[in-house]
Structure 1
Amino acid sequence: MKYFLTFDIGTTSVKTCVFDESLTMRGHANEEYLLLAEKPGYVELPAETYWQAVLSGAKSAVARAGIDPKDIVSISATTQGETFIPIGPDGAPLRNAIVWLDERADEQAKRLAQTFDAARFYRETGLPELSGYTPVSKLLWVKENEPELYEKTVKFLLLEDYILYRLTGKFVTEKALACSTGWFHFSGDCYWQEILDAAGLDADKLPELLECGQIVTGGVLPEVRAQLGLSDSVAVVTGAMDQTAGAVGAGNVVPGLVTETTGTALCVVATLDQPDLDHPARVTLYRHIERGKYLMITIAMSAGMFLKWFKDNFCELESQQAEREGKSVYALFDQIVEATEPGANGLIAYPYLNGSLQPHNDPNARAIFFGAGLDSKKQHFLRAIFESIAFLLRENVELVEQVNRIEIKEIRSLGGGSKSDIWRQIKADVTQRPIASLAESECTSLGAAILAAVALGYYPDAKTAAEQANRIVNWKQPDAALAACYDALYQKYCALYPRLKDLF
């Protein structure tokens, strides 16, 4: 039996997984780290922190899988987009990584936007607008504020690129990740020279563009093989950005289905053949794992976060009860919500604790509980929170349908929220669409493994691999008897924003 080693490098942790030839997970490990936020708007991390977490995670995951590391045939990584690291002539980082959450480059973004307005920028890159978060703006910030460092930099590497470099010594990237930067051109499927020239940035300081799931020539460096006990023949394969890899792991590689991830945020992801790059909604588009396919991604920043906020501030008694009963407080919430009538006794929750990206693009929007009365109990508030995320899902699914003039008939549920049977049922009832859960919940890591397995010839393509490795294990069918109830509540939910937006 041979094995695929994957790294999912997130904002605050690295998840390392070992998959066998059937793409069944055999072992995993999680290594956490703390970000540095020493100035307002600045978010950084020493690049070595990522690498040490990768090494430690690899050793732990292999040990837990109980395998010989020499039976590992590939290494692939999937990472957050946008985080980047400057590499000097000696191959060492010249400064901390500038993390995707960092927004220091607002001034540079405003200047670039004078040349590339939002409509033009979206048409060329698929990104809604230039902002202080966009890597092209941050790279201009580095050039203007750290000019000596900029000149010394041999390559600016995104996070996956940096891990590939530490593994192989090669300066390479892949296109699904590069499209998060603002310097990747959609139609050309290459670096966007025009914006680099306008910003005075050097294209030769960027790594070579490879396809997703492409074997990096030369393999793993001897010193890394020795550290991890790997064979001489282990291959390194390019992955994809985390959202893209998650779509691959869930089988979201052809048009017609949607995946929703309810974690801290809510992300709705649809595969498209022909996106409308002139649509005024400007919903984020990423290049998929192959040219000519795209991912439309709506992002709502407060989903699971809303429930956690309510738990932390108002549910001490429930937390104590769950501890006494030896269960998760979220499992207790599921029981409470399931026993509470649909519609939460008329109470409607509005989930925007920290602003709205989609569908309203309003950073000032805030959360609301609407319709509370003397007969409103805590269970109604919990049920209203569950229902509010289902309303949010319906809003964003309808946005994707409207923008692309398509009908979505099936939704696959990922993330922590997918483990809640009652939450999936509520989503099915509110959207009046079937909601599926999958055998493997770690879809992002699985997606990276699929890309490697296809590259090495174990499967003919990503669609086949995902169908075989991550079957649907449960459907929640919508209850037609609840359609009228939820339609009425949804109309009230949708009416809140236009009436309150000027008050936020």
Structure 2
Amino acid sequence: MNDVLVGIDIGTTHCKIGLFDVKGCLIDVVRYVNRVYNNGDGYYYDPEEIWQSVEQGLIKVLSSAGRDKLVAIGITSMAETGLLVSTEDGRSYTPFIPWFDMRATEKVRFIQEKIRQLDVFSKTGLRVSYKHGLPKLIWLKDKKGELPLNVKWLSAADYIAFKLTGVMATDYTLAARTFAYDLENNKWNDELISTMGIRVNIFPKVVESGTSIGFLKGEMLSKLRLAGDIPVCICGHDHLCAAFGAGVVTLGTVLDSMGTAETLVGVTPSRRLRETEWNTGFSFGKHVVEGYYFWMGGLPASGGSVEWIRSMMSDPPLNYDDLSELLAHAPQGPTGILYFPYLAGGSSPVSSIPLEGAFVGLKRSHKRHDVAKAILEGAAYEVEYMRQVAEENLNVEMNNIIAVGGGVQNKYWLNIKANVFSRPIKVIAMPEVALMGAAFLAALKTGYFSSVEEVYQGINTETHIVYPDDDLSALYRRQYKRYAQFQKYLKQYYTSI
């Protein structure tokens, strides 16, 4: 009999349930598509559909466990997606309102008029956005006239944990994404919540990321054919669970999550958030590892730029093999084209400016492969810009870069990035790092592992290093300086209009 762990990840596109052994080997994983609906008010997910996916997925992956012993269940999810649930009968009072739904945009302006933004940032680590839970609750209150006394606001991970245990709670990484949590004092920001006309107790209790909120209830034990006390843990924000799974738990280590959007997550000492942090444009919060904060920046259309150029160059779009073959014809070194990857707005350091994508330096001599390569270069330059902003403002050298996500399959892109960064990139082949992070964080916080160090000593996942070429890197560093200069011009232009 072996020990096994379960991770659950409620993402924007898929609900995933994974079974791991204690060395990090993915034994089994199932994925279900999270269908998105629109009811006229905006987009939503059906909570019962998502719950049924989780229940079916647990039954399936645990059938792979045989007589193995389940140590813990760790749950992670997209951050700002939430719903109201009845405390009396456990039924959903609203559907899930996803992070990307913009119905609460007007409520952001309402909040901004009532607060001193820097003061509230010092507590929340955030600039208010339509994504966050508090503006969504204000929208719901205005829509319905009043909110019932017997409901709680739960994130996606919180809701699944409630369905498994009957306990309503959240962790501090998900609590923080409501814009209603006070990081400095580790409690709900009562004054801010009340000022917005929302009752404070609409939010659940907050626990440390990864700690058990309770055990699988009897009904679930029976369905899953399990026995004993199986701890269920809310492990938090999916990007932070991915950071934990990838080993981004020390100063100077940065997670580069390469997907349709690209996210950088770094580690910083716990700190009072003031104007310096505000000026970075990043969001901040408590890391899942005790004693640290994280900083987070994002580029909305990184891999999205690759998808765009695939469709622009061919109808139907170029497949990935054809794109790789096209890129293989490009000469080594910078193309000389500067691409600014702002198809969905700017990255976190400049997200307040309504930037749009641009090419600079196109010539008649440029070929299709040059333009395709320039897309990869531009996304790499922008991520390097984010890394430098973090390094310069937070006084931490960010030299240890760990890459995960679908983009790591593009070796050509990784080579460009290593040359732009002038630093090696550690690549983790494991496709389900957030799932693994949730599972292992739950095992750590419930006492299966005695320390963070013990977790990583035992994990045996496939990795490799992509090293920069010194000569090419020198050329790319010069080109990056041109990129940074033209970026200033773009900011000035779009600010003026």
- TM above 0.5: yes
- TM-score bracket, normalised by the shorter chain, equals over 0.9
Please point out which of 254, 260, 267 is paired with 2:256: 260
Q: Residues 50 and 318 of structure 1: is their aligned pair in 2 closer, same or farther, counting only changes over 3 Å? A: closer
Q: Which moved more, 1:157-166 or 1:131-140?
A: 131-140
Structure 1 residue 114, shift from structure 2 partner? 2.3
Letter in 2 for 1:192: N
2:83 corresponding residue in structure 1 = 85
1:110 deviation in Å?
Answer: 1.8
Counterpart selection for 1:224 from 202, 220, 233: 220
For 2:191 and 2:332, how far apart are their aligned partners in 1?
54
How much has 1:333 moved relative to structure 2?
2.6
Range with greater deviation from structure 2 (229-238 or 377-386): 229-238
What's the counterpart of residue 380 of structure 1? 370
Residues 276 and 481 of structure 1: CA distance in aligned 2, closer, same or farther (over 3 Å):
farther
Q: Deviations over 1:19-50 (max 9, x none)?
A: 0122211010110022123447x221121121
In the alignment, the residues of structure 1 paired with residue 423 and residue 397 of structure 2 have an alpha-carbon distance, to the nearest angstrom, of: 11
In structure 1, how many angstroms separate the alpha carbons of the residues matched to 2:290 and 2:124?
A: 14
Q: How many residues matched? A: 489
Alignment partners' CA distance in 2, 1:400 and 1:338: 33
In the alignment, structure 1 residue 50 sits paired with structure 2 residue 50:
yes
State the alpha-carbon separation in 1 of the partners of residues 310 and 281 from structure 2.
Answer: 34
Instruction: Give the structure 1 partner of residue 118 of structure 2.
Output: 119
C-alpha distance in structure 2 between counterparts of 1:140 and 1:192, whole Å = 15
The alignment status of 1:11 with 2:9, answered yes or no, reads no
Q: Which residue of 2 aligns with 1:236?
A: 232
Q: Which residue of 1 aligns with 2:105?
A: 106
Instruction: Tell me the distance in 2 between the aligned counterparts of 1:269 and 1:126.
Output: 14
Per-residue Cα deviation, 1:362-398 (whole angstroms, up to 9, x for no partner): 4531222222222111111111111112111211110
Distance 2:474 2:65 in 1: 54
Contact persistence 1:75–1:237 (CA under 8 A):
yes
Distance 1:31 1:18 in 2: 15
Q: Give the CA deviation at 1:317.
A: 7.5
The answer for the alignment partner of 2:203 in structure 1 is: 206
Report the Cα distance in structure 2 between the residues aligned to 1:259 and 1:246, rounded to whole angstroms.
8
The structure-2 alpha-carbon separation of the partners of 1:69 and 1:396, relative to structure 1 and needing over 3 Å to count, comes to: farther
Q: Quick check: 1:357–1:363 contact (8 Å CA) kept in 2?
A: no
Q: Which residue of the other structure, out of 330, 336, 341, is the alignment partner of 2:331?
A: 341
Determine the structure 2 residue equivalent to 1:178. 175
Letter in 2 for 1:23: G
Distance 1:306 1:140, change over 3 A: same
Matched to 1:5, the amino acid is: V
Whether the aligned pair in 1 keeps the contact of 2:335 and 2:373 (CA below 8 Å) is no
Measured against aligned partners, the alpha-carbon deviations of 1:282-328 in whole angstroms (never above 9, x if no partner) come to 41012111443111001110111100111123134774xxxxxxxxx
Q: Partners of 1:354 and 1:296 in 2: how far apart?
A: 21
- CA RMSD of the aligned region, Å? 2.1
Separation (CA, whole Å) in 2 of partners of 1:197 and 1:133:
20
Question: Which deviations, in whole Å up to 9, do the C-alpha atoms of 1:153-174 show, x marking residues without a partner?
Answer: 4212111111111000011111
Structure 2 gap ranges (5+): none
> Partner amino acid for 2:57?
G
Match among 137, 148, 152 for residue 151 of structure 1: 148
How far apart, in 1, do the equivalents of 2:182 and 2:462 lie?
Answer: 35
Identity %: 25
Q: CA deviation at 1:226?
A: 2.1
- Classify 1:202/1:421 alpha carbon distance in 2 versus 1 (closer, same or farther; 3 Å): same
User: How big is the shift at 1:436?
Assistant: 0.7
Paired AA for residue 62 in structure 2:
V
Decide whether the 8 Å contact of 2:281 with 2:349 is kept in 1.
no
* SS in structure 2 at match of 1:28: strand
Secondary structure of 2:280's counterpart equals coil
Q: Work out whether residues 25 and 461 of structure 2, in 8 Å CA contact, stay in contact via their aligned partners in 1.
A: no
Structure 2: distance between partners of 1:344 and 1:406: 29
Provide the residue aligned with 2:309 in structure 1: 310
Match of 2:448 among 452, 458, 472: 458
Q: What do the CA deviations read for 1:171-219 (whole angstroms, capped 9, x no partner)?
A: 11111211111111111111111111211222222211111121223x1
- Separation of aligned partners in 1, 2:152 and 2:95: 14
Query: How far apart in 2 are the matches of 1:2 and 1:180?
Result: 33
